[in-house]
Amino acid sequence: AQSVAQPEDQVNVAEGNPLTVKCTYSVSGNPYLFWYVQYPNRGLQFLLKYITGDNLVKGSYGFEAEFNKSQTSFHLKKPSALVSDSALYFCAVRDRRSNDYKLSFGAGTTVTVRA
Amino acid sequence: DSGVTQTPKHLITATGQRVTLRCSPRSGDLSVYWYQQSLDQGLQFLIHYYNGEERAKGNILERFSAQQFPDLHSELNLSSLELGDSALYFCASSVRTGRETDTQYFGPGTRLTVL
């Protein structure tokens, strides 16, 4: 079984401040972890993924995420948020042992960056 | 733009009707996935096809079916529609490399409204 929790429905930050979107996961084995972003009336855009190796993953648009196995977390971060980062963010997980390739998504976190 | 296309963008129909949603994967991608996004259930995996063959089923109702054609495009058929089927339906595609680390790239979605 695999699941993701995004504990915050909403995150509000001022432009220029650091942005963190939290994600914790649960899988039977080791995880593949992903972050996607959804802008209004658009599909999901891939930001980054953790497969193996370095726990700090760098992705698109200045985002990065840190994999923490002991805390089963994969928080998304951006050092300096932009108003254009306002969107809905999804964390997703897949169990490495799974053969079905399905992604299990969290409920999403709405990020609002105020000017 | 992810390179995944979906038609139509919007679909409005009545209960009891049948509709077909179409997806064209990115050039070269062999895998197609269907997901349903609704307010109450979030993003749910429906089904995965690889090179024309069904590989995995998720929370897909018996009233729903899908197929992937020789040109790799896919169709999701929804029949005996109910009000609760109103949702955003996403298609995603990926290249299966055998290392199971493939990123799924999502299309813009089809918004289905059942009246």
Give the Cα separation of B94 and A93 in Å (integer): 16
Each residue of B21-47: pLDDT tens digit? 999 999 889 999 999 999 888 999 999
Q: Does B24 touch chain A (CB under 8 A)?
A: no
Residues 28-87 of A with CB under 8 A from B: 32, 34, 36, 42-46, 49, 51
Residue B7 confidence class, pLDDT cut points 50, 70, 90: very high
* Residue in B43, B96, B101 nearest the CB of A51: B101
Supply the pLDDT for residue A2. Answer: 86
Q: Is A84 helix (H, G, I), strand (E, B) or coil?
A: helix
Supply the pLDDT for residue A70. Answer: 92
* Residue in A43, A51, A105 nearest the CB of B109: A43
For residues B2 and A72, the model is more confident at A72
- What value does the mean pLDDT of chain A take? 93
Which candidate, A34, A17, A43, A38, places its Cα nearest to that of A95? A34
Do residues B106 and B94 touch, judged by C-beta distance below 8 A? no
Give the Cα separation of A108 and A18 in Å (integer): 19
Each residue of A49-98: pLDDT tens digit? 998 888 999 999 999 999 999 999 999 999 999 999 999 999 999 888 87
The rounded percent of chain B whose pLDDT value lies above 70 is 95
Residue A42 confidence class, pLDDT cut points 50, 70, 90: confident
Residue B98 confidence class, pLDDT cut points 50, 70, 90: very low
* φ/ψ (deg, to 5) at A60: -75, 155
| β partners of residue A56 | A66
Question: Is B103 close to A34, i.e. CB distance below 8 A?
Answer: yes
Kindly state the DSSP code that residue A16 receives in the 8-state scheme: T
| β partners of residue A75 | A66
Do residues B91 and B9 touch, judged by C-beta distance below 8 A? no
Judging contacts by C-beta atoms under 8 Å, the chain A residues touching residue B32 are none
Q: In the predicted model, what is the mean pLDDT of residues B94-107?
A: 75
**Which of A38, A101, A105, A109 should we substitute to test contact with B (largest number of B Cβ atoms within 10 Å)?**
A101
Tokens of B98: 């055998």
The rounded percent of chain A whose pLDDT value lies above 90 is 77
Distance between B18 CA and the closest CA of chain A, angstroms: 24
* Residue in A32, A96, A107 nearest the CB of B42: A107
Distance between B84 CA and the closest CA of chain A, angstroms: 18
Q: In the predicted model, what is the mean pLDDT of residues B62-85?
A: 96
Q: Does A25 touch chain B (CB under 8 A)?
A: no
Check pLDDT > 60 for residue B100.
no
Supply the pLDDT for residue A63. Answer: 97
Q: In the predicted model, what is the mean pLDDT of residues B62-71?
A: 96
Tokens of A21: 């979107």
